[in-house]
Structure 1
Amino acid sequence: MADPIRLIHSAAEAGPQLPHNVEAEAALLGAIMIDNRIAEDVQLKLRADHFYEAVHGRIYDAILLLLDRNMVANPVTLKPMFEADEAMKSLGGPAYLAQLTGSGAGLIGARDFANQIYDLALLRELVAVGRNMAERAFDTSEAETPKEQIEAAEVALYKVAEEGGEAGSVKTFGQATRMAVELAEKALNAGGGLSGVTTGLDSVNAKTGGLHHSDLVILAGRPGMGKTALATNIAFNAARRWVRDEEDGIPPEKSVGAKVAFFSLEMSADQLATRILSEQSSISSESLRMGKIGQQDFRNLARAAAELETLPLFIDDTPGLTIAALRTRARRLKRRHGIGLVVVDYLQLLQGSGRQSDGNRVQEISEISRGLKTLAKELNVPVIALSQLSRAVEQREDKRPQLSDLRESGSIEQDADIVLFVYREEYYVASREPKRPGPEDDAKTHEDHQKWMADMEKVFGLSELIVAKQRHGATGKVKLKFEAQITRFSDYIDDAYLPAHRD
């Protein structure tokens, strides 16, 4: 009878040779059928489609199926499953199973064989990606632009890279415990209470413990509440802390700062830079845009700009990004620059794949929120996604947002690890300003305006950050100070806690 392995090689030689080793596949399958415990070592990494020879892949699947049923997997128990297999018949029928166990050569190096089969499968994937790239590039009738083809190729390559990583591997409780202790040590070294990336706001850090790796943080608010300003403040604070920790000789893994990728789908990069410059130079962004600044202001501006030149804050202001393109760009920034925080402004301006949504906006938003959560886990960084709120907020007497106000999809609330709402009562009180009294107006008009001014004084410059959902801790509110002219949030200090002034 002809050698089955030689028959496989003869069939393979009919076309271009792809990386493979059918002898290693045969030896591994034979070893597993002799000692089923070997399957426990290799099945976490090896799948049926990693085998070059399709029959070998089916045998491997059949072995795992029997083991899952708590049955012994050997040539006898596997035989009924392959009696009608046409490809197996060309190799000599079910007798081929017994032939695989003949030498027992794979018992000694089973793990090495499994690793080689896996590595060769990755090389075949690379060949397939390369061929696909070349075919699409040659096809000038392809609807996709060259830029879109490059992004699609990066996605395909990243999938191959993910295959080769340890992502998703099982961790023992001991490993998980060590990771938890390392986080606690990091929090202790940071001064206590901060185990993630800093927001730069002590009161927010105290409430959330910082921005935790692999978390999706939704930052939402109605227009005019300052959600973009807060996101920009946090991005700047995290990047600045990274620079300071680096200057102080703190290792990157122990820093509570981060290099930041800011995806701005609404504002341009120069508008964002103007906001940060305004905050750091204490000059209103309106004055900066219109050039209404004196020599001293310009010196402050130049000083702030010089300090910000080396800031590890990367701004991508490409409009109309799809969730797939955003993930590709974020992975690229992680690979090239080691980013530790991603900010997306804002979620509703992202587009879905177009395939899953089928014109349904709710499904599209669900796909986007799931994609952002997956990105946070893939890169092991916090992702802050800004989100709009529905107009239902405006219909209530109490304008404080609720989770049900998250616009267009309940999946945003479901996928998020933390949901934060920015609320400024000052905005609503200012909009209720009554008629300004003149000399001829009656006492009631003067009284109404005085009452409004008293209400305005109570809320002027104040903001609330509502922690509506938090997987790591309690919900609640954090009071912040907001300087609208320079779009800066800072910690609120109650007058009751200030030291008494002496005359």
Structure 2
Amino acid sequence: MNQVARVGDVPAEEAATVPHNVEAEQQLLGAILTNNELYDRVASIISEAHFYEPVHARIWEVAAARISKNALASPVTLKAFLEDDEGLKELGGAAYLARLAGAAISSFAARDYAQMIHDLAIRRSLMDIGRSMTDSAQQVDVAREPKDLIVEAEQALYQLGEAGQASQGFQSFLKAVTDAVNVANAAYQRDGGMAGIPTDLIDLDKKLGGLHKSDLLILAARPSMGKTSLAVNIAFNIAKAYKRGQKPDGSTGAVEGGCVGFFSLEMSAEQLAARILSEASEVPSEQIRRGDMTEAEFRRFVEAAKTLEACPLYIDDTPALPISQLAARARRLKREHGLDVLFVDYLQLVRPASAKDSRVNEVSEITQGLKAIAKELDIPVIALSQLSRQVESREDKRPQLSDLRESGSIEQDADVVMFIFREEYYKEREKPGDHELEKMAQWQEEMERLHGRAEVIIGKQRHGPIGTVELSFEGRFTRFGNLVKPWQQGGDSDF
């Protein structure tokens, strides 16, 4: 069969130097059109983006769509869908499809042809990235520093390594629908459970449906409300539950829990580890710092440390990281160890890639960058955020969306915005004088009611309802947990 005289958007004189094998593409397409069952063997290796010849890419896309619907893909059935294709007309129209099927002589080698087409596509993409890097490096621009070019090149290479193609571009609605069905199927397989990664906080998981891939979640609170504690608790729960295995799509990765990355821009890695150990060993963190432990507590502490050694929780405590560096480090972590959830503590300590004329614009660049990381790495990103002081001046101290510092961009870019509120913290500061006996009795009654309780207020959620989730809070171990409801207490309940 004659090789197709086409070089796409590559100049004709360069075509000979571009890695490609049109005959392998013809053999693979012919084999698929002759025997549709071969498609399942090669679908995980290549997509239409890997074909060098655009007409072949379109033939593959239509054939794949037909086979996915359990319909026949043959020269006869594909003819109706490709009759108006100008590229196919140049090659002979429907007769070309018949020639492809007729010339397919080695269906057993379909997988080898698919691997060859994939590898040649990767080589072409590498050449494109190399050319792009050379062009960018030659253009001396004051606004673009060399380190920015390195980050861009690393991003392009990461995408190529992960997805097998350097850039996504448009995708057909069929692929988007298939992905949506796969997510719904994953939730259905868990008996109507979560599509996302569970946090192990039952009521929060019910509201959120777990942590969803490509989502940016903002966890905001005033100082001393426990936002770092809650983030650490969730990170620890996810890492502790990690199990590796084969996922429904055939790839290998986390089937339970996940690998967790934690950017701690405020606390050191050692302080963060001490918090996790305090929670796991049930020894108050101030006793751990002072070394003031009984023998039983120290034994629990050491046992907890041994158990945690195997947890896939990675901490980066570099201060004042620019958003571009943060993205590059997250990519590297995913490539080297895997990454299923990313935490950033906290948003206002991340630096923009370049200085902006206002703080609002800087925060906007940071939130957009975090959302881009979530989409690019296909993971949930949980960013902690400070709230403005206007909360303190209100009678009702419960936070709301307008309390977010530089709130416009944070509220706009986030898929979920959550606030932590502990009324006990504020009530504690309203303690009346010892001589005011009536007020003191009322205050003590209120404190008893509020003790060990926290609220997580979901102020925004793209995929579900807003509302309040009640959690327990043990200040000694800086630990949030599931709150036992009165009807769950068995015999002690009045209900």
Q: Same fold (TM over 0.5)?
A: yes
From the superposition, tell whether residues 270 and 19 of structure 1 become closer, same or farther in structure 2 (CA, over 3 Å): farther
Q: Distance in 2 between matches of 1:330 and 1:422?
A: 26
Q: Residue 460 of structure 1 aligns with which residue?
A: 451
Displacement of 1:254 after TM fit?
Answer: 6.8
Deviation at 1:258, TM superposition (A): 1.0
Asked if structure 2 preserves the Cα contact closer than 8 Å seen for 1:133 and 1:153, the reply is no
Letter in 2 for 1:331: R
Contact 2:242 2:254 in 1 (8 A): no
Give 1:342's aligned residue: 342
Partner of 2:129: 125
Please give the alpha-carbon distance, in whole angstroms, between the structure 1 residues aligned to 2:272 and 2:281: 14
Deviations 1:147-167 (A, max 9, x none): x94x85243232245363463
CA RMSD of aligned residues (A): 4.1
Structure 2: which amino acid aligns with 1:412?
I
1:255 match: secondary structure: strand
Residue correspondence of structure 1 range 211-360 to structure 2 within 5 A: 211-243=211-243, 255-354=255-354, 357-360=355-358
Matched length:
402
Quote the sequence identity (%): 43
Once the 2 structures are TM-superposed, how far is the Cα of residue 190 of structure 1 from its aligned partner? 3.8
1:500 aligns with 2:484: no
Distance in 1, Cα, partners of 2:394 & 2:352: 32
Task: Give the C-alpha shift of residue 344 in structure 1.
Answer: 0.4
Asked if 2 retains the 8 angstrom alpha-carbon contact of 1:423 and 1:463, the reply is: yes
CA-to-aligned-CA distance 1:4-62 (integer Å, 9 cap, x gap): xxxx99x99xxxxx9659xx9xxxxxxxxxxxx959959x9xxxxxxxxxxxxxxxxxx
Pairing partner for 2:363 from 348, 362, 365: 365
The residue aligned with 1:170 is 171
CA distance, structure 2, for counterparts of residue 331 and residue 194 of structure 1:
26
Q: Quote the Cα distance in structure 2 between the aligned partners of 1:361 and 1:331.
A: 27
Measure how far apart 1:497 and its partner are.
Answer: 2.9
The one-letter code of the counterpart of 1:420 is M
Relative to structure 1, is the Cα distance of residues 131 and 478 closer, same or farther in structure 2, using a 3 angstrom cutoff?
same
One-letter amino acid of the structure 2 residue matched with residue 405 of structure 1: D
Query: C-alpha deviations, 1:119-174, integer Å up to 9, x for none?
Result: 546415326647988999xxxxxx98xxx94x85243232245363463451443x
1:392 shift after superposition: 1.2
In 1, the alpha carbon distance for the partners of 2:127 and 2:405 equals 44
Alignment-derived partner of residue 470 in structure 2: 479
**Letter of the 2:368 counterpart:** R
Check 1:300–1:500 CA distance in 2 against 1; reply closer, same or farther (3 A cut).
Answer: same
Distance verdict in 2 for CA 1:187–1:433, change over 3 Å = same
Q: Which has the larger radius of gyration?
A: 1
CA contact (8 A) 2:431 2:443 kept: yes
Task: Report the CA distance shift for 1:159/1:251 in structure 2 as closer, same or farther (over 3 A).
Answer: closer
Any idea what the Cα deviations from partners look like across 1:392-439, whole Å, max 9, x if unmatched?
Answer: 11111111111111101311111111111111000100111122x2xx
* Residue of 142, 151, 156 corresponding to 2:153: 156
Q: CA, structure 1 residues 385+117, in 2 after alignment: closer, same or farther (shift >3 Å)?
A: closer
- Residue 442 of structure 2 aligns with an amino acid whose one-letter code is K
In 2, the alpha carbon distance for the partners of 1:212 and 1:469 equals 15
The amino acid of 1:292's aligned partner reads D
Query: Once the two structures are superposed, what CA deviation does each residue of 1:189-224 show, in whole Å capped at 9, x if it has no partner?
Result: 445331101111111111110000000001001111
SS of the residue corresponding to residue 472 of structure 2 reads strand
Deviations 1:68-96 (A, max 9, x none): xxxx999xxxxxxxxxxxxxxxxxxxxxx
- Tell me the residue number matched to 1:428: 426
Say yes or no: does 1:488 pair with 2:488. Answer: no
Following TM superposition, the consecutive aligned residue runs of length 4 or more in structure 1 with deviations greater than 6 angstroms are: 104-109, 115-118, 130-136
Aligned residues of 1:258 and 1:339 also touching (Cα < 8 A): yes
Runs of at least 5 residues in structure 2 that lack an aligned partner in the other structure: 1-9, 23-53, 62-84, 98-115
Kept in 2, the 8 Å contact 1:240–1:257? The answer is yes
- Give yes or no for contact 1:20–1:121 (8 Å, CA) kept in 2: no
Q: CA deviation at 1:475?
A: 0.5
Give secondary structure in 2 for the equivalent of 1:386: strand
* CA positional deviation for 1:319: 0.4
C-alpha distance in 2 between matches for 1:376 and 1:126? 26
Write the deviation string for residues 299-354 of structure 1: whole angstroms up to 9, x where unpaired.
00011000000100000000010000000000111111111000000000001111
Cα separation, partners in 2 of 1:130 and 1:297, compared to 1, 3 Å: farther
8 Å CA contact 1:216, 1:376 repeated in 2:
yes
Q: Retained in 2: the 8 A contact 1:424–1:464?
A: yes
- CA–CA distance in 2 between the matches of 1:162 and 1:184? 25
**Partner Cα distance (1:306, 1:161) in 2:** 34
Q: CA deviation at 1:493?
A: 0.9
For 1:322 and 1:166, the matched residues in 2 are separated by 24
Matched, 1:447 2:438: yes
Equivalent position amino acid for 1:478 in 2: V
Runs of at least 5 residues in structure 1 that lack an aligned partner in the other structure:
1-7, 13-17, 25-36, 45-71, 75-103, 137-142
Aligned AA for 1:343? F
**Alignment deviations for residues 435-465 of structure 1 (CA, whole Å, 9 cap, x no partner):** 2x2xxx4xxx122212111111111110001
Does the 8 A contact of 1:366 with 1:409 survive in 2?
A: no
TM-score when normalising by structure 1: 0.70
Picking from 389, 393, 407, the partner of 1:409 is 407
CA 1:133–1:200 in 2, change beyond 3 Å: closer, same or farther? Answer: farther
Describe the superposition over 1:449-501 as per-residue Cα deviations: whole angstroms up to 9, x where unpaired.
12111111111110001111111111111000000110100011122331115
